[in-house]
Structure 1
Amino acid sequence: MAKFLFIMLIIWMQVRANQVLKQVIKLKLLLKITVKLMNRYKITFEKLRQKKQGAFIPFVVLGDPDFETSKKILEKMVKHADCIELGFPFSDPIADGKRIQAADERAINAGINPDKCFELIKHVRSINKEIPIGLLIYYNIVFTSGINNFLAKTKKAGVDAILVADMPLEESSEFNSKCISSGIEQVFIAAPTTGKERLAKIISKSTAFVYVVGVLGVTGERKNVDSSAGRIVSSIKNISKIPACVGFGISKPEHVKKIIGEGADGAIVGSAVEAIIEENLCNKKIMLEKLDAFFKAIKNATC
């Protein structure tokens, strides 16, 4: 009898050990997947550094000019981009120039609301699990939904980071802590007028990258890129290893080559994208072809 009980104990221990081993393997796999998903920006920028490339980060207003066309535009973006920045249409985009204002208006007129924006983001995430997705939005959009509700939807849709264009650093504590709790990274803006002390605070709060404003004023296409962008990038590099990406006024391959050559980790291009959309509203096929060619040319300029 004792021998029988001993054998049964050994069998039970083996079964239990196998069960524990399976659970450990599952947990390791889950942890590996979770870490990978939570660090999309870090992984992407590290891969690009190894290749000695900058990041191409196109921006577009979700739902412009309509839901279905926007979906196709996003598919073209993901094909060439390293990261993407997406805007929710807003009626009073104070940081944006005429191109993005017009894009906001088209999307609003097409009936695009935050829920439809999240649908579009989910579509992007369904076709690309690894590309970092950032939102560049205005605080009223968050406030109207409620911070917790908005962040929950943001996380569920597959967004990695948020930049709230009209939220001052000094008023960001509550939103920042809730982003951290939700596993969403934050991006803050450094402008040509930003002093050393404030820049240090911006760097300490930014977790995905620092958005460097290439020119003073609102977004929009420019003939030339101001040299101040390179100075800000250098200042960031002297303080931290966080990526510094330049936006505002970046609209041509030569602009991208210049800022990447000056040390920027990425180029954010928005108004030039919206210009192609606006100028080809009557022929969606041509619009998509031109966007595809533009995205390809800009990405090539980051190499």
Structure 2
Amino acid sequence: MVELGVPFSDPLADGPVIQASSQRSLKQGTSLRKIIQLVTDIRKESQLPIVLMSSFNPVYVYGQKPFAEDAVRAGVDGVIVPDLPPEEAGEFLEHARKSGLDTIFLLAPTSTPERIRMVAERSRGFIYYISLTGTTGMRNALSTGLKEKLQLIRGAADLPVLVGFGISGPQQASEAARVSDGVIIGSAIVSKIAEEADPVKRRESVARFVGEVRKALNEVESGA
């Protein structure tokens, strides 16, 4: 699965790495409409699942109904809107359901049983579990109690639960994968992109990092 981030000038959940990348992207004229067009172009080459992660403001400005319709038409499979809580997402959910767009909501270590049930009911595709409170970004360790919290979520939801926020490399990815259905890595990859000015070296650096993570996940899947 590929997650495409939609840049926004005042994001709620993004840490410094993603914020800096958003500013670079906005200066280049990136917009939600252009990202949807990018998905159309990607679909000519790949059928990998694609999820957009966006603040609600760009979706609201675009129009909730046309966004859902255009996103699905382009080939988007799902959307994560971190600053749109499920209890306030009624109109957006209506348009997403009619268009066939999966809505992925977030849970955190502080989520109550009531919130877990609501997210389980209104999510489609998978549930995004934030491994740490705060914003996105690389951390030195995962939160304690991760396994127990995921067990609680699985008791209320039939959907896969993926873990993100704070996963910085193969070791943490492996640890998270042993207790979850998958891992989400953003800031660590964006950092690799920002470190290399040369396009060829940049691709090699990202490919090497992703390959190391994939190897670690393969070992988990094989029971190593």
Contact 1:185–1:208 (8 Å) recurs in 2: yes
Which residue does the alignment assign to 1:16? none
- Range 113-122 or range 95-104, more displaced: 113-122
3-state DSSP of counterpart to 2:40: helix
Q: Counterparts of 1:227 and 1:190 in 2: how far apart (Å)? A: 15
Residues 1:181 and 2:67 aligned together: no
Higher helix share: 1
Instruction: Tell me which amino acid in the other structure corresponds to 1:229.
Output: L
Which residue does the alignment assign to 2:222? none
Q: Counterparts of 1:298 and 1:286 in 2: how far apart (Å)? A: 18
Instruction: Tell me which amino acid in the other structure corresponds to 2:90.
Output: S
Contact 1:214–1:228 (8 Å) recurs in 2: no
Match of 2:45 among 121, 127, 136: 127
Instruction: Tell me which amino acid in the other structure corresponds to 1:279.
Output: E
Residues 1:208 and 2:125 aligned together: yes
Q: Counterparts of 1:301 and 1:177 in 2: how far apart (Å)? A: 39
Q: Counterparts of 2:41 and 2:210 in 1: how far apart (Å)? A: 19
**Cα shift readout 1:45-67 (whole Å, capped 9, x = no counterpart):** xxxxxxxxxxxxxxxxxxxxxxx
Residues 1:300 and 2:215 aligned together: yes
**Cα shift readout 1:263-296 (whole Å, capped 9, x = no counterpart):** x11100000011011111x212111100011111
- TM-score w.r.t. length of structure 1: 0.70
Q: State the shift of 1:109 in Å.
A: 0.8
Aligned Cα RMSD in Å? 1.1
**Cα shift readout 1:24-61 (whole Å, capped 9, x = no counterpart):** xxxxxxxxxxxxxxxxxxxxxxxxxxxxxxxxxxxxxx
Which residue does the alignment assign to 1:90? 8
Q: Counterparts of 2:146 and 2:184 in 1: how far apart (Å)? A: 12
Quick check: which has more Rg, 1 or 2?
A: 1
Q: State the shift of 1:168 in Å.
A: 1.3
Q: State the shift of 1:231 in Å.
A: 2.5
Percent of aligned pairs with the same amino acid: 33
Residue correspondences, number: 218
**Cα shift readout 1:139-198 (whole Å, capped 9, x = no counterpart):** 111111111111121011100111111001110111111100001111000011001111
Q: Counterparts of 1:195 and 1:115 in 2: how far apart (Å)? A: 36
Give 5+ residue unaligned stretches, structure 1: 1-82
Which residue does the alignment assign to 1:141? 58
**Higher relative contact order, structure no. (Cα contacts within 8 Å, ≥ 6 residues apart):** 1
Give 5+ residue unaligned stretches, structure 2: 219-224
Instruction: Tell me which amino acid in the other structure corresponds to 1:140.
Output: N
- TM-score w.r.t. length of structure 2: 0.94
**Cα shift readout 1:122-141 (whole Å, capped 9, x = no counterpart):** 12222112x21111111111
Which residue does the alignment assign to 2:140? 223
3-state DSSP of counterpart to 2:132: coil
3-state DSSP of counterpart to 2:4: strand
Which residue does the alignment assign to 2:183? 267
3-state DSSP of counterpart to 2:184: strand
Instruction: Tell me which amino acid in the other structure corresponds to 2:182.
Output: G
Instruction: Tell me which amino acid in the other structure corresponds to 1:277.
Output: I
Q: Counterparts of 1:144 and 1:228 in 2: how far apart (Å)? A: 39
Q: Counterparts of 2:10 and 2:37 in 1: how far apart (Å)? A: 23
